[in-house]
């Protein structure tokens, strides 16, 4: 018996993208800082710094969230709810690293 696993997949459209609200503009700068810190590892990706979907997807991809947390953030349909969930996750990371819990 072979070990082949097969599945059906469905492409889900993101819906209408939105312009990143001003209070989240610093996140675009965070993306640049991450790319620089990773020695340009992601520098080949075309930046869409004004796109809510792009900024949230890149931060979720680049930052050290648990996989289930990444999945939850990316599955959220409404852009404001997605931004708020990412903001909460960023606060968790900030707390974690500010208390030097780096052995995770």
Residue 101, number of CB atoms within 10 A of its CB:
9
Q: Tell me how far apart the alpha carbons of residues 93 and 34 are, in angstroms, rounded to a whole number.
A: 14
Q: What is the pLDDT of residue 35?
A: 81
Q: What is the pLDDT of residue 73?
A: 92
Backbone angles phi, psi at 19, to 5 degrees: -75, 135
What does the pLDDT look like over 36-89, one tens digit per residue?
Answer: 887 767 667 777 888 888 899 988 988 888 999 999 999 998 888 989 999 998
Residue 87, number of CB atoms within 10 A of its CB:
14
Q: What is the pLDDT of residue 85?
A: 92
């Amino acid at each position: 018996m072979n070990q082949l696993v097969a599945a059906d997949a469905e492409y889900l459209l993101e819906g209408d993208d939105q312009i990143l609200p001003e209070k989240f503009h610093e996140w675009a700068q965070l993306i640049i800082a991450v790319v620089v810190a990773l020695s340009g590892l992601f520098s080949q990706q075309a930046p869409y710094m004004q796109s809510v979907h792009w900024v949230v997807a890149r931060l979720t991809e680049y930052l050290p969230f648990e996989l289930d947390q990444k999945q939850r953030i990316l599955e959220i349909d409404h852009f404001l709810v997605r931004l708020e969930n990412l903001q909460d996750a960023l606060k968790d990371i900030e707390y974690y690293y500010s208390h030097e819990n780096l052995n995770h």
